[in-house]
Structure 1
Amino acid sequence: MRGTYPRANPETKTMSAHGTLTVDLRTRRGKGPARRLRAQGLTPGVVYGQGKDNVAIAFDPRRFERALDAERRYNSLLEVEIHDGDAVLEKVYCVVADVDKDPMRDTYLHVDFMRVDPDAEIERVVPIRYVGRAKGVAAGGKLETYKRSVRIRVPAKDVPAAIEVDVTPLEAGAFFRVSDLAVAGAKVLERPEQPLAHVRPPKVSKTAAEGKGK
């Protein structure tokens, strides 16, 4: 069962909201030097992409956390300044490409940063926020959701914090599918027929069903 749905609402912020992070050039690589860095309260990482050389770095994880947008988190656009002593080697826009964390201590083990052009499109996974109370739920049905995030292609400066899906119009038996998403400025990269939400109709008791049949 399909219907006409409002556009999904991407929660966006302007590029002026990008965070800044100062990092230091890391000259020694390998597990041993990385462990010593972590013992000093620093996190090893790498900056790569755009056809340039990879740059091994070290940074303060507390500053990294402060640089991240509170809602976008690892989808934040960051301006990374790479220092070698007092010299600035590179100042570049980046997004977080990969994060390795200690699951027990919840501390950063390693972070990869990918250089980006803020106006160029990149692929990111963005969370879905389901809002509203479906009509079918008000009639006794049950809302079921199938995905918590979707992959999109969007300019790096315009990655939304989340995509809101308003389930209010959904009646009992209706589905909200990927094809019903319309995110301004972005292309959704999931299968169009994939369901995101569904209102399961209320169960009809055997007695009520028999009564209808008479």
Structure 2
Amino acid sequence: MVRLKNRYLLVDILYPDSSTWPSTKTAGPQSTQLSIHSPTSDALTPGLLAKMVREEVGEMYGDWGVGKLGGASATGIHIKYLSPATSTAIIRCPRAAFRLVWSALTYMTHVPAVDGAGAGIRRPNGGRERPCVFRVLRVSGTMRRAEEEAIRRARREIVRVRGVEEEGVLGDLLGGVVQKEANAVSAKGVVDESEDEGMLVDED
């Protein structure tokens, strides 16, 4: 029995076009960060995203590209995870074709768009689309690694938006100890080099 090997692409959908950003009352770096990473419309379903990828591969590489994905039915493309709230997706594809899928995602520039009233946003080309950028964050051999990377990046984005540095699991505890030692040293006015060498600082 032959084991079919796949690749999992962790994809982030970004919205750099400021005209499509949701209206925010505060204009600052945090609101800009949130706007670029704004939620995707529920009109983008896993089936629709898989169809968009297959069509883009077919347009770029023709029958050869479609064959690499698994033939006319192109069953090799599966959307294992799609979150409109975080604009994140995990796409499974055959190992031999992951570069084709990656390049197709690079050239995809629109997703379906729905405004607050539930109606599509008309574009000059007549479609109801929202300009976007598909960014491949990680290519992994297992879905578990892709999920771990998605969680790690989500945590980092939350920390970045809040403007707080992440210090790890024991960051608060160690941070308090380091702060007490720093206060004691500043009170003495003298820095002992031996204590400085033995201090552990988590820079992760």
TM-score (ref. length: structure 2):
0.24
Higher strand share: 1
**Greater RCO (Cα-Cα under 8 Å, separation 6 or more):** 2
TM-score between the two structures when normalised by the length of structure 1: 0.23
